[in-house]
Structure 1
């Protein structure tokens, strides 16, 4: 995982150099972050907004959106933990650990989803019988 982070850092540095060479822009890191993160944020916002509008029309839209948001938070948390392990040398910083942690969340969520769907259909069936 350490190698992945170093590679990503090198890619970011190469993009910084490319922008400087291509446009002749000599920006400070703060100025570069302002523009690049601002543009990436807006592109991401429009993509997320488009997909969330589609999800909004689905039956369990709140549950789907809650899952997407929670999964995003879990990705950030898992990688923060892995970075903390690398910085403090407590544990091994491995990509496989991060993936396994996310699988844990997905499995627990699937168990919850199965139970919730069963309860939903039981209540729905019970209501139909009660109306008769």
Structure 2
């Protein structure tokens, strides 16, 4: 876990240094805060447009899919933060397996919920179909009796 975080930090630092070099080569004099404003702003907009297209497509399948993706994303951030906090405070072991097990816990409980949800939605659909068929039989029967009684 520690090695993975160090690798990610090294990639980010290299990216940061390369961006500073490119900005200086272009003749811009930006402070670190200005650089963060532009880079994170642009990076955020790219993520937003990609996310918007993907979520718009996924929304066709229902808001449940979007809720799952959002929850999973938040959980990934939280479990990484917990593991980093454990390393900083020395109150536990920082292990990648803890992250994996935590996320598996969410997935297991989510799929249990999803199974119940699917059964419930199926039962509701069957009941609605049964009601609409009974309603049509009752209405057509009353029309027929109206015509026959004349």
Normalising by structure 1, report the TM-score. Answer: 0.89
| Aligned twin of 1:20 | 20
Q: For 1:96 and 1:27, how far apart are their aligned partners in 2? A: 41
Superposition pairs of residues 102-117 of structure 1, within 5 angstroms: 102-117=103-118
Q: For 1:16 and 1:76, how far apart are their aligned partners in 2? A: 22
| Superposed CA RMSD | 1.6
Q: How far 1:32 sits from its partner (Å)?
A: 2.1
Q: How far 1:79 sits from its partner (Å)?
A: 0.8
Larger Rg: 2
SS of structure 2 residue aligned to 1:57: helix
Matching residue within 55, 58, 62 for 1:55: 58
Q: For 1:95 and 1:10, how far apart are their aligned partners in 2? A: 18
SS of structure 2 residue aligned to 1:46: helix
Q: How far 1:26 sits from its partner (Å)?
A: 5.3
| Aligned twin of 1:6 | 6
Q: How far 1:113 sits from its partner (Å)?
A: 0.3
How many residues of Structure 1 are paired with residues of Structure 2 in the alignment? 130
Q: How far 1:67 sits from its partner (Å)?
A: 0.9
SS of structure 2 residue aligned to 1:93: coil
Matching residue within 40, 43, 61 for 1:40: 43
Q: Which stretches in structure 2 are left out of the alignment for 5+ residues? A: 135-150
The range that moved more, 41-50 or 61-70, is 61-70
Q: For 1:17 and 1:6, how far apart are their aligned partners in 2? A: 16
Normalising by structure 2, report the TM-score. Answer: 0.79
Q: 1:50-96: per-residue Cα shift (whole Å, max 9, x none)?
A: 011112222xx211111111111111111111111011111111111
Q: How far 1:106 sits from its partner (Å)?
A: 0.9
| Aligned twin of 1:93 | 94
